[in-house]
Chains A and B, each alone.
Chain A
Amino acid sequence: MRRSLGPALALLALPAAALGEERFPPPEFSTGYQMPAPTTPPPRAGTLAVLDVVLLAVALSLAAYLVLKRRSRNGVFALMLFSLAYFGFYRNGCVCPIGAIQNVVVAATDRSYALPAVVAAFFALPLLFALFFGRVFCAAVCPMGAVQDVVLARPARIPPWLEHALGLLPYLYLGAAVLFAATGSAFVICNYDPFVSFFRMSGTVKLLSLGAAFLLLSMFVGRPYCRFVCPYGVLLRWVAPWARWPVTITPDTCTQCRLCEESCPFGAIRVPTPEPDPALRHEGRGRLAVLLLLLPVLVAAGGWLGAHGSGRLARAHARVQLADRVWIEEQGKVRGTTDASEAFRKHGHPTEELYREAAELRFRFRDAGRLFGAWVGLVFGLKLILLSIRRRRDNYEADRAACLACARCYRSCPQEHARLGLVIDETEVPDAVDQR
Chain B
Amino acid sequence: MPSTNGSGRPPVGGSEAAYRACVHIAVFAALFSLVVCGLLVANWLQGRARFPVDPPAMVALKAQLAKRPADEALKARIRRLDREIREEYFGRKAFAEGGSLLLLAGVVVFVAALKGAKRLRRRLPKPGDPPEDPRRIAARARVVVATLGVVALAGLFSLGAGAGRDPAREYARAVGLEERAGRPRRRAASARELARNWPQFRGPGGSGLAAPSARPPEHWDGTKGTNIRWKVPVPLPGENSPVVWNDRVFLSGADEKQREVYCFAAADGKLLWRQPVGTGGAGATPPNVSSDTGYAAPTLATDGERVFALFATGHLACFTLDGKLGWLRNLGVPDNMYGHASSPVLHENRLIIQYDQGLSAEDGKSALLALDTATGQTIWETKRPVPNSWSTPLVVSSGGTAEIITCANPWVIAYDPKTGAEKWRVECLSGDVAPTPIAAGGLVLACNIGAPLTAIRPGGQGDVTQSAIAWSATDGIPDVTSPASNGELVWLVTTDGLVTCYDLKSGAKVWEHSLERMFWASPTVVGDRLYLLDNEGMMHILATGRTFRQLGTAPLGESVNASPAFVGDRVYIRGKENLYCIGR
Contacts and interface: CB of A to CB of B under 8 A. Distances in A.
- Report A-B touching, CB under 8 Å: yes
A324 B168 contact: yes
A430 to B, nearest CB: 8
Interface string A105-133: 00000011000000000000000000000
Contact of A380 (B135, B145, B175, B442): B145
Contact of B126 (A17, A172, A355, A432): A432
Contact of A384 (B126, B145, B153): B145
Interface stretch (B82-90, B251-259, B396-404, B445-453): B396-404
Given A172-B152, A261-B127, A313-B159, A165 B168 contact: no
B: contact size bracket: 35 or more
B400 to A, nearest CB: 5
Contacts of B213: 112
Nearest to A325: B167
Given A22-B545, A352-B399, A387-B138, A164 B171 contact: no
Interface stretch (B188-196, B217-225, B278-286): B188-196
A303 to B, nearest CB: 10
A302 B96 contact: no
Given A112-B196, A259-B125, A355-B175, A202 B156 contact: no
Interface in A272-310: 273-274, 298, 301-302, 305-306, 308-310
A359 B177 contact: yes
Interface string B283-310: 0000000000000000000000000000
A310 B157 CA distance: 10
B47 to A, nearest CB: 12
B146 interface: yes
Contacts of B127: 257-259, 261-262, 435
A227 interface: no
A338 interface: no
Interface string A326-361: 011001010000000000000010111101111111
Nearest to A209: B41
B6 interface: no
Looking at A313, A331, A352, the one whose CB has the most chain B CB atoms below 10 A away is: A352
B15 interface: no
Contacts, number: 211
A214 B132 CA distance: 30
Given A352-B397, A373-B156, A153 B125 contact: no
Interface string A162-196: 10110010001000000000000000000000000
B68 interface: no
A164 B167 contact: no
A269 B133 CA distance: 14
Contact of A355 (B131, B188, B400): B400
Given A309-B156, A314-B168, A359-B175, A380 B148 contact: yes
Nearest to B398: A350
Contacts of A361: 190
A323 B171 contact: yes
A20 B543 CA distance: 10
Contacts of A363: 177, 179, 184
25 contacts: A2-B503, A112-B196, A165-B141, A168-B145, A274-B133, A308-B156, A308-B157, A311-B160, A311-B166, A324-B168, A328-B167, A331-B167, A350-B397, A352-B399, A355-B174, A356-B191, A359-B171, A363-B179, A373-B153, A380-B146, A380-B149, A387-B138, A428-B124, A431-B126, A432-B124
Interface of B: 9-10, 12, 44, 96-97, 100-101, 104, 107, 111, 114-115, 118, 124-128, 131-135, 137-138, 140-146, 148-149, 152-153, 156-160, 163, 166-168, 170-172, 174-175, 177, 179, 184, 188, 190-192, 196, 213, 246, 396-402, 441-442, 487-488, 503, 505-506, 508, 510, 528, 545-547, 568
The 7 A-B pairs at the shortest CB distance, nearest first, are namely A309-B159, A380-B149, A308-B160, A258-B127, A164-B141, A309-B160, A161-B140
